[in-house]
Amino acid sequence: MMQRMRERIGLWTLACLLSQFSFAQKTKVDTLDGRSDDVVITATRTERKLTNIAVPAIVVGQKQILQSGSLRLNDILQEQTGLFVTSGTGSGAVGGGVFGNGIQLQGLSADYTMILLDGEPLIGRQGGVMDLSRFAVGNIRKIEIIKGPASSLYGSEAMGGVINIITEPLSGKQTQVGARYGSFATQDYHISGSSANEKNQLYYFLNRNSSAGYELDKNTPEKTLDPFYNYTAQLKYTHKFNRNTRLTLNNRYFYGKQESFYAINSREINVGGHGTTNDFTINPVLHYQFSEKIKNRLSLVASGFHFVQDLDSLNSKANYYYDSFRQNFWRAENQTDFQLGNHLLTVGGGYTLQSVLTTRYREQKFQHIWHAFVQDEWKLKENISLIAGLRYDNNTDFASRLSPKFAFHWQLNEKWTINSSIGAGFKAPDFRQLYLSFVNNAADGYSIFGASEFSIAELQRQQSIGLIAQILPAAFAIQELQPEISQGFNFAIQFRPKAGWKAEVNVFRNDINNLINFIPVATNNNGSSVFSYINVNRAFTQGLEGSLDIKFSKYWNLSAGYQFLQTADKQILGAVKAGEVFGRDREGAPARLMRRSDYSGLLNRSAHMANARLFWDHTPSGWMASLRAIYRSRWGVIDRDGNGFANRPDEFAEGMLHVNMTVSKRIKENWMVQFGVNNLLNQTNAMFMPNMPGTNWFTTLTYTFKHKNK
């Protein structure tokens, strides 16, 4: 504990010292940096203007983040078209099991979206899902969101798309401090600063975020969200050796602690403790430009993630539950871009080593991955481009995988553009699905074993000594897991009638095979079950997205979006169409044959989602304001009558409309004060939307000091 305290004091001391440090000359923008919000890197791994990429993409700029008053990554993502932030806990690949706050893209579960930080993969998924609330947005310049399969460039976990968090230094030499206070004793403090000359650039960011938690259901003794605090620190240094060579060292550290209190089989809290998270990334990147036509990027990444939950009985003080999860990630990757006439050829490859040590596995597990990718962007004409890509992944834990992609961009004229893409995505079986070895002694004794830990011989041995009552037929179908794979298609039309106006419609379809789910393979003598993992499901998601951006005056901007989504487990849908599925309209009602109109698709998906955002920025007076609304229609959350989908009223969560607003004022260029209210309509659902508190307000004060050049 003392060591952690010394580390935090050291970080804050370093920040104070750095804030006084400045280089002698003003920053010069390197054209290789891709600093403009109109430039997208994630879609092709090369710099391209947003108007010239062939896949569905959203760019959330720093100004939008500021106007929205967002604190964490999940706050800003939930306001974007076609994105839904999941919450709570659950399991099942098709059903969309989640841990914390994950993100759905085009109806695909949160574990099928790759999350990057400055182009490098982030680790620390639990239950297969990255908790987005771990990431502060105060140091984010922009967020690039690429929809549709992207495994041809990024490999596993990019079935649904990619979210790239791009952190950029503040322009020039300046120091910024900010403080925020709001409902539920939410507090957020940050200090950031940057200094630069022609050869060196230094940026740092420190953040502390905390809350007293909140309660949405007065009928339960536990809080919906327990009190917590966390720290985020980033140090980013760039040295330019010459006009062709640049080295960037990017370091990030996160520490979080949350209290945990539970009522076990009673109406009173009788179990308590805490959960802690440590997360770090060290990422040196060397850029070298051989010539105007050849560029190279060499990246090294070392990351670590450690989560511990420790709970004790408040009565006996004995340890009730202990869980530890430690993941390490090392990767080396090189990418070279060649401009060959009308072709931009991108070639790259690398090696990844991952390890996991947890109380839920028998021993520490290691995974080795080799990958190589190639992409050619062929500019047939000034207004027509074709992109073809292919990636090869060789993982020690499953068969090698080829992921192709083809995209087409055609700008008919200044107003109309057509984009289309088709590609394959995949998700490798994760450590949990391969190596889990867990018996829940705290509950009824159920157990789950990863496919690589499962053994028919062991089940038969336990049956012979009376521990297992019955081995189910499904146990004999357990075999080596295959990657989950998808084929995705997107077709979009953009219309830009004049400057500042854009309308876009995108039609998409994703077919997913080999989905991994856990199934019962045996029953214990006490009636509990033994589970393991198998490739069993096939599914699809399809729909239509529409977006509209209008800058209808110098100071006003309106954005709106809508997504219509259809999803299905193909096996269940086929049985419904064949007249083989029955269900009940309510508890105790007689069973009836389910029709196609009764089938609601995969759980935790809404057929309709929409948003509208109105921004006002009156630069002369320093006033800014925003009004944002997010709507989600009802969605299935549970299957009570056993037919595999939600079909009765008590199996759905009601639709919700959230309205947020902010008002900001800049004072004498250095000061900014912001007032905001989230969830104006007080829409809550303690069971299915625990991450959404009731109406809550906040006030933020920020001071920016710009150092003068000497």
Is residue 10 over pLDDT 80? no
pLDDT of res. 32: 31
118-146 average pLDDT score: 89
pLDDT of res. 171: 67
pLDDT of res. 438: 81
Residue 527, judged by CB atoms within 10 A of its CB (0-12, 13-18, 19+), counts as: exposed
- Contact by Cβ (8 Å): 520, 438: no
- At residue 709 the predicted structure's pLDDT band, cuts being 50, 70 and 90, is low
The predicted-structure confidence for 410-421, as pLDDT tens digits, reads as follows 999 999 999 999
565-591 average pLDDT score: 94
Q: What are the start-end ranges of the H helices in 278-426?
A: none
How far apart, in whole angstroms, are the C-alpha atoms of residue 704 and residue 339?
Answer: 41
673-702 average pLDDT score: 93
- Contact by Cβ (8 Å): 565, 609: yes
H/E element, 435: helix 431-435
Is residue 596 over pLDDT 60? yes
Is residue 546 over pLDDT 50? yes
162-190 average pLDDT score: 90
Please, what is the average pLDDT of the chain?
87
267-296 average pLDDT score: 94
pLDDT of res. 372: 97
pLDDT of res. 262: 84
Q: Picking from 92-101, 320-329, 399-408, 590-599, which range would have the lowest pLDDT averaged per residue? A: 92-101
DSSP letters spanning 358-372: ETTSSS-EEEEEEEE
The four Cα atoms 256, 436, 474, 394 give a dihedral, to 10 degrees, of 100
The predicted-structure confidence for 488-539, as pLDDT tens digits, reads as follows 999 999 999 999 899 999 999 999 999 888 888 888 888 788 889 988 889 9
Selected residue with higher pLDDT from 490 and 102:
490
How far apart, in whole angstroms, are the C-alpha atoms of residue 541 and residue 108?
Answer: 7
Residue environment code for 237-263, b if the CB has 16+ CB neighbours within 10 A, otherwise e = bbebeeeeebebebbbbbbbbbebbbe
pLDDT of res. 100: 58
CA dihedral sign of residues 99, 105, 106, 112: negative
How far apart, in whole angstroms, are the C-alpha atoms of residue 115 and residue 161?
Answer: 9
pLDDT of res. 30: 31
pLDDT of res. 551: 93
203-214 average pLDDT score: 95
Is residue 348 over pLDDT 90? yes
Residue 188's CB is within 10 A of a number of other CB atoms, namely: 20
- At residue 441 the predicted structure's pLDDT band, cuts being 50, 70 and 90, is low
440-453 average pLDDT score: 76
The predicted-structure confidence for 374-399, as pLDDT tens digits, reads as follows 999 999 999 999 999 999 999 888 77
Is residue 425 over pLDDT 50? yes
Q: Distances in Å between the alpha carbon of 496 and those of 177, 280, 502, 641?
A: 39, 43, 5, 49
618-638 average pLDDT score: 94
- At residue 170 the predicted structure's pLDDT band, cuts being 50, 70 and 90, is low
- Contact by Cβ (8 Å): 104, 605: yes
The predicted-structure confidence for 502-512, as pLDDT tens digits, reads as follows 999 999 999 99
Selected residue with higher pLDDT from 193 and 7:
193
- Contact by Cβ (8 Å): 82, 147: yes
pLDDT of res. 50: 77
Is residue 443 over pLDDT 60? no
- At residue 689 the predicted structure's pLDDT band, cuts being 50, 70 and 90, is confident
Is residue 48 over pLDDT 90? no
Percent of the chain at pLDDT above 70? 91
Selected residue with higher pLDDT from 574 and 55:
574
Distance of alpha carbon 226 from the chain centroid: 22
- At residue 463 the predicted structure's pLDDT band, cuts being 50, 70 and 90, is confident
